[in-house]
Amino acid sequence: MAMGREALFTAGYLGLVPSMSRYARESHGLGDEASRVVGAIGGGVIVGTLSHPFDTVKTCQQVRMHSDTLPFLLVLV
């Protein structure tokens, strides 16, 4: 589960940041540094949002693995 989350995050981040930086530079006339910041923040927010559910499932599985008293669905709440 962790490998899937990291793969999604890395692939998305490496793919989105340059594209978003280029878009910010060409469409909005931002300089190099400003467009990189916009691309990094925008890309990070998008891929973080997409990959977060995988991290949550992984954490719930780890809690369940080390606890005999908590039901799995209770951990999700």
pLDDT in tens, 16-56: 999 999 999 999 999 999 999 999 999 999 999 998 888 88
State the Cα–Cα distance between residues 57 and 43, nearest whole angstrom: 22
Q: Are 58 and 5 a contacting pair, CB within 8 Å? A: yes
Domain count, the chain: 1
Residue 32: predicted pLDDT: 95
User: What element of type H or E holds 9?
Assistant: helix 2-28
**Which residue segment(s) compose the domain that 29 sits in?**
2-76
Number of H helices, E strands in the chain: 3, 0
State the Cα–Cα distance between residues 18 and 59, nearest whole angstrom: 31
State the Cα–Cα distance between residues 39 and 15, nearest whole angstrom: 10
